[in-house]
Structure 1
Amino acid sequence: MRLTIIAIAIALPGVAAAAPAPALSWGKPRVSLATYRAEAIGCGMRAYYTDVSDTKAAQSFVEGTRRIDATLGASSATPLPGVSSAQAAQDAIGNYTTVQQIVHSVHPEEGFQEIKDLQGSLVAKCLIDHGYHRFHLTDAQRKRLEKLKVGSEERHAYLHKLASDPEILSTQAEPDPGTAAQ
């Protein structure tokens, strides 16, 4: 099954591409850096470890994996006597095409997005439960953030400085998910 997951991942060019600095972030007035980091990590971990096996996306991935395993398993049998290498190559091409069709039918980009959206909504709910609210970053703030290495102490400190500043949170406030006027 691991090989199948690798095959699906290879079929998705650019999935792990770097993203620009986000337009929105979360903040809580005067929150300490230690609390800010702990609550952010806690909410992220809660979403990361949420069981997604009941989602349509996960079930689609499992079904696609079964179909690919069946296709590849059927082709891995010892070649029959009298089968030419040209026929074996043709069979391999046919299996590759079948695997591509299966991967396409699973709609992996949509499935990954569904799971990402679910995890994002879980993080948002957790942060709101901890008293955080969304705010937008100005162009200047985003440009500065893009210059800071992801995961660095300097980046964490800069985001915290923005996220704990009551003035920024007030003037750059955005509606929290689920609270926007409908």
Structure 2
Amino acid sequence: MIVLASASCGSAGAAGVKPGPVVSWGKPDVSFDDYRKDSIACGERGATTSMKGRGEFDAVVLGLDRQDTDIDIGRSLPPSLTREDPTQKLARDYALNGLKSRPEPKVKALQRFLVDHVEACLSERGYVRFALTPAQAAELGGYRKGSQARFRYLHALASREAVIQQQRYEP
């Protein structure tokens, strides 16, 4: 999860926007086992944080409910009531409701809310952000996400005090 929280910081949002640095979290001299345990614990904290009662969450759920209602209504109408192809009508209505509810900004806000919980957990455990150099980021890109080799590579960087001091990242 340390990688998960950092990977979102390193991608470009819109076309033509230069991507930011690839950011990860480190703690000098942390053992690999503690690094993985902390990563899992903080990722779990983010993943299990309730979003109920947040305006963004309620709006996304309402939009999805409306889209589901469109599907249910579209399936229940007899084909003789409309001259339109039922599949095309359903797709159009579903898409229009999605446009009306505009879930993308709300989903991004919810993602940020969860990542904030992961990052707070990492900070509480003594981790700090650091930006990978272009060479480090390129090497990291050669490892399959979720692979043991990728975790080991990140740990090798994240546990070195010199890397953390020289490459510390403050957004």
TM-score (norm 2): 0.80
Moved more, 51-60 or 31-40: 51-60
8 Å contact from structure 1 (residues 26, 163) kept in 2: yes
Question: Structure 1 residue 174: deviation in Å?
Answer: 1.6
The AA in structure 2 aligned to 1:133 is: V
CA RMSD of aligned residues (A): 2.2
Where does residue 29 of structure 1 map in the other structure? 28
Q: In the TM superposition, what whole-angstrom CA distance separates every residue of 1:36-87 from its partner, at most 9, and x where no partner exists?
A: 000011001110111112222221122112222322222222627xx27x72
Q: SS of the residue aligned with 1:76?
A: helix
Question: Structure 1 residue 92: deviation in Å?
Answer: 4.4
User: Are 1:162 and 2:157 matched, yes or no?
Assistant: yes
State how far apart, in whole Å, the 2-side matches of 1:68 and 1:39 are: 39
Where does residue 104 of structure 1 map in the other structure? 99
Unaligned runs of 5+ in 2: 1-18
Relative contact order higher in (CA < 8 Å, ≥ 6 apart): 1
Q: In the TM superposition, what whole-angstrom CA distance separates every residue of 1:3-61 from its partner, at most 9, and x where no partner exists?
A: xxxxxxxxxxxxxxxxx996111100000000000001100111011111222222112
Q: How many residues align?
A: 153
Q: How does 1:1-182 map to 2 (within 5 A)?
A: 23-77=22-76, 79=78, 83=80, 87=83, 89=85, 92-175=87-170
The structure having more radius of gyration, on CA atoms, is 1
TM-score (norm 1): 0.76
State how far apart, in whole Å, the 1-side matches of 2:166 and 2:77 are: 69
The AA in structure 2 aligned to 1:47 is: G
8 Å contact from structure 1 (residues 26, 134) kept in 2: yes
Q: SS of the residue aligned with 1:87?
A: coil
8 Å contact from structure 2 (residues 60, 107) kept in 1: no
Task: Quote the sequence identity (%).
Answer: 30
